[in-house]
């Protein structure tokens, strides 16, 4: 399923991630998943949040550089080989992945994927499920 990811561009200095987390917390927005990529000078904090529109509004209100991105969120069993099977099928369908991150909860894993072609990715995933 396609969902919206919030990307926040941060200068690489102590406390900046906390400022984002604190801002979201003060507005009752839950960070459900996140990934941090960094270079020497800046980082990109990618977030799946409980209220996308409100998150964008409050973060921009605090002068954070924010962008929305469509990503695919998929669920699979939290067991050895489940992700490998999905990735094998995506590769067979020639789905190219820019990045991905995952989180597990009990017996299920949730994977956030940024494919180069969302429609192709969703079509490939539908063929796995059906």
* Domains recognised in the chain with CATH numbers: 2-69 (3.30.2130.10), 71-129 (3.30.2130.10)
Q: 114 and 37 in contact (C-beta within 8 Å)?
A: no
Q: Residues 45-54: pLDDT tens digits?
A: 999 999 999 9
Question: Is the pTM of the predicted complex or chain greater than 0.75?
Answer: yes
pLDDT tens digits, one per residue of 59-74: 999 999 999 999 999 9
Alpha helix segments (H runs only) across the chain:
16-26, 52-61, 82-92, 118-129
User: What integer pLDDT is reported at residue 130 of this predicted model?
Assistant: 52
Average of per-residue pLDDT values in the chain: 93
Q: Give pLDDT, residue 59.
A: 97
Q: Which pLDDT band holds residue 20 (cuts at 50, 70, 90)?
A: very high
């Amino acid at each position: 399923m396609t969902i919206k990811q919030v990307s926040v561009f941060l200068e690489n200095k102590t406390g900046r991630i906390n400022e984002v987390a604190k801002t979201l917390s003060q507005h009752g927005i839950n960070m459900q998943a996140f990934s941090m990529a960094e270079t020497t000078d800046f980082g990109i904090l990618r977030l799946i949040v409980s209220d996308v529109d409100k998150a964008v509004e409050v973060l921009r209100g605090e002068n954070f550089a924010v962008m929305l991105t469509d990503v695919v969120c998929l669920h699979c069993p939290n067991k050895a080989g489940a992700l490998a099977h999905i990735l094998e099928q995506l590769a067979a369908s020639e789905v190219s992945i820019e990045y991905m991150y995952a989180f597990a909860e009990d017996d299920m894993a949730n994977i956030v994927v940024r494919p180069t072609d969302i429609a192709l990715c969703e079509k490939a995933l539908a063929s796995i499920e059906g």
